Chains A and B, each alone.
Chain A
Amino acid sequence: MTGTPAVEGFFDPEAQALIGSKCTGCGTYAFPARQGFCPNPHCGSDTVDLVPLSRTGKIWSYTSASYQPPPPFVPADPFVPFFILAVELAAEGLVVLGQAVAGTDAQDLRVGRDVEVVTDVLFTEDGENKLVWKFKLVEATK
């Protein structure tokens, strides 16, 4: 998928993975990445590494954006409703929000289902794709 991230620093479009931080002192993760200090109040380290986060997780909860959100959201014309998922990344102990990819069927959304992080188009500006992370359901193993 060609294009550039809508905002730099949140995900790696090639690797299709979110980029977080991991404290070199206590191992605490953060997304978005913390720059220069650890969020753990008992740590106090000021050294964190940027790391790719798990590419798969489980749905913690989900909802719909049935009405067009206000700017700075850039809607399709006409607006197409979409789903927003809260996804639990077990290894990092994080719940992260993201849109579900277009075409996700409400009937298939269930708490606990496996999803993967994918790179997708958020909007198009002057012919260039602006990219974001989205979540895509992983097909259940038959």
Chain B
Amino acid sequence: MTEPKRVAVLGVGMHPWGKWGRNFVEYGVAAARAALEDAGVAWPQVDLVAGADTIRNGYPGFIAGATFAQALGFTGSRVSSSYAACASGAQAIANARAQILAGLSEVALVVGADTTPKGFFAPVGGNRTDDPDWLRFHLLGATNPTYFGLYARRRMERFGSTAEDFASVKVKNARHGAANPNARYRKQVTIEEVLASPMVADPLHLQEICATSDGGAALILSSVEFAKAHGIKPLVTIDAVSTVTPVYPNTTIEMPNFATDSSAAVPLPKMGFRPSITAAIYEEAGIGPKDLSMAEVYDLSTALELDWYEDLGLCGEGEAEQLLRSGATTVGGRIPVNPSGGLASFGEAIPAQAIAQVVESVLQLRGEAHGRQIEGARVAITANQGLFGHGSSVLLRR
């Protein structure tokens, strides 16, 4: 096994999630300043700004790296801007990491922020009959929760999952999120309350589907040598980042497509998309699921969190409900999942979300996740999935 290619996390920062309705740049700057302060680094020391883009806030959102660099005051740093739907933040991390490892950057700011509309995400404007995202709304009325509902029903059919199992994920995450000052929803809920909320995409209820949120998150990354020279303790490192695509044919229906790839002429790959994301990161980091202290996964819906348990190898296929019911994935259990409260407590601020997963992991590994701390956490994994075959995973270690 080769040695993991490590970069250090010097500092983390967030702007609380909510429906604030202000300019996304404000949230990103607040998160960046918090991360700089946490790192003990002055803004002019940053030589790379890796922005995660938002597509719903005009031109400044498409060039997020430059937008945040300008808002903080141009210093002549390098910039990059990444868009990869929900994985945008992870691609910004991957970019900063690669430049640090290549010796092109010493101290990098990774930042993402979003201001979101109310209700369902809709495609961006225009009459675009060659864009599957436009077509799925126009021809089918297929929203994002449509796909979550299809996955959830499929899980029920394959493994006998119940509505109560799904609602229990929300109950767990709401309990975690109640202790997180950056979470949008901090009220605990019961299974009965979840199931009494309106049906959105059968079998999923309103409280089981992540809301669209405003928020911002930032990291200060550096080489391990720089961190050691500056006496950063405890040292938390990013040991691996996975941003792999699916392998053709991808036979799980994927947002925003309205058909899968064809398996008629090409045999199925060894594994599906989500497990391939985590397999790649385990291979890169040289560890396995048994080494994990915690996971932050993309609970776009309650049912999807259960799919992730299996895709991460926390349990076998069809065993996620049992793992949840055992309490293993609750803080205090064997392998807590979404100690931050997850999207269930945050909602989703797309370009900030994958970064926020890393922020929570860092706080846990440092022992600073007050009210939701996992005792002795040493290794953390994040996992997420966006549109068009974008997914990501980040592996952190103390």
Evaluate contact between B248 and A98: CB separation under 8 angstroms: no
B248: which of A6, A39, A97 is its contact (CB, 8 Å)? A39
Cβ of B229 under 8 Å from chain A = no
Evaluate contact between B266 and A40: CB separation under 8 angstroms: yes
Q: Which residues of B contact A132 (CB under 8 A)?
A: 139-140
CB 8 Å contact bits of A83-103 with B (1 = contact, 0 = none): 110100001111111110000
A42 to B247 Cα, complex, angstroms: 11
Q: How large is the interface on A (under 10, 10 to 19, 20 to 34, 35 or more residues)?
A: 35 or more
Evaluate contact between A69 and B142: CB separation under 8 angstroms: yes
Q: What is the minimal beta-carbon distance from A9 to any residue of chain B, in angstroms?
A: 8
B141: which of A26, A32, A84 is its contact (CB, 8 Å)? A84
Q: Which residues of A contact B261 (CB under 8 A)?
A: 30, 39, 94
CB 8 Å contact bits of A39-67 with B (1 = contact, 0 = none): 11110000000000000000011111111
Evaluate contact between A73 and B137: CB separation under 8 angstroms: yes
Q: What is the minimal beta-carbon distance from A10 to any residue of chain B, in angstroms?
A: 7
B139: which of A6, A39, A40, A83 is its contact (CB, 8 Å)? A6
Nearest neighbor of A99 in chain B, beta-carbon distance: B140
Cβ of A70 under 8 Å from chain B = yes
Cβ of A71 under 8 Å from chain B = yes
Q: Which residues of A contact B142 (CB under 8 A)?
A: 65, 69, 84, 97
A6 to B248 Cα, complex, angstroms: 30
B146: which of A30, A41, A63 is its contact (CB, 8 Å)? A63
A99 to B258 Cα, complex, angstroms: 11
Residues of chain B from 74 to 125 with CB closer than 8 A to chain A in the complex: 119-120, 122-123
Cβ of B162 under 8 Å from chain A = no
A116 to B384 Cα, complex, angstroms: 35
Q: Which residues of A contact B201 (CB under 8 A)?
A: 63-66
A73 to B143 Cα, complex, angstroms: 10
Q: What is the minimal beta-carbon distance from A41 to any residue of chain B, in angstroms?
A: 5
Residues of chain A from 96 to 128 with CB closer than 8 A to chain B in the complex: 96-99, 106, 111, 122
Nearest neighbor of B143 in chain A, beta-carbon distance: A69
Evaluate contact between A28 and B153: CB separation under 8 angstroms: no
A97 to B150 Cα, complex, angstroms: 10
Nearest neighbor of B158 in chain A, beta-carbon distance: A111
A88 to B176 Cα, complex, angstroms: 39
Q: What is the minimal beta-carbon distance from B115 to any residue of chain A, in angstroms?
A: 17
A74: which of B138, B143, B203, B260 is its contact (CB, 8 Å)? B138
Evaluate contact between B153 and A61: CB separation under 8 angstroms: yes
Evaluate contact between B153 and A73: CB separation under 8 angstroms: no
Evaluate contact between A93 and B251: CB separation under 8 angstroms: yes
B120: which of A27, A64, A69 is its contact (CB, 8 Å)? A69
Q: Which residues of B contact A83 (CB under 8 A)?
A: 202
Evaluate contact between B263 and A93: CB separation under 8 angstroms: yes
Evaluate contact between A64 and B262: CB separation under 8 angstroms: no
A93 to B152 Cα, complex, angstroms: 22
Q: Total interface residues on B, using CB and 8 Å?
A: 46
Q: Which residues of B contact A69 (CB under 8 A)?
A: 120, 137, 141-143
Evaluate contact between B202 and A63: CB separation under 8 angstroms: yes
Cβ of B2 under 8 Å from chain A = no
A6: which of B120, B123, B138 is its contact (CB, 8 Å)? B138
Q: Which residues of B contact A63 (CB under 8 A)?
A: 145-146, 149-150, 152-153, 201-204
Q: Which residues of A contact B141 (CB under 8 A)?
A: 65, 69, 73, 75, 82, 84, 99
A73: which of B119, B138, B198, B251 is its contact (CB, 8 Å)? B138
Q: Which residues of A contact B151 (CB under 8 A)?
A: 61
Q: Which residues of A contact B138 (CB under 8 A)?
A: 6-7, 72-74
A64 to B204 Cα, complex, angstroms: 9
Evaluate contact between A28 and B134: CB separation under 8 angstroms: no
Q: Which residues of B contact A27 (CB under 8 A)?
A: 264-265
Evaluate contact between A26 and B265: CB separation under 8 angstroms: yes
Cβ of B249 under 8 Å from chain A = yes
Q: What is the minimal beta-carbon distance from B130 to any residue of chain A, in angstroms?
A: 9
Q: What is the minimal beta-carbon distance from A101 to any residue of chain B, in angstroms?
A: 13
Q: By CB atoms of chain B within 10 A, which of A7, A60, A63, A83 has the most?
A: A63
A3 to B388 Cα, complex, angstroms: 32
The 10 closest A-B pairs by CB, nearest first: A63-B149, A93-B263, A93-B264, A70-B122, A64-B202, A29-B262, A69-B141, A72-B138, A61-B154, A97-B258
Interface residues of B (CB under 8 A from A): 119-120, 122-123, 127, 129, 132, 134-143, 145-146, 149-154, 157, 198-204, 248-249, 251, 253, 258-266
Pairs A–B under 8 Å by Cβ, sample size 5? A6-B139, A26-B266, A71-B137, A74-B138, A122-B139
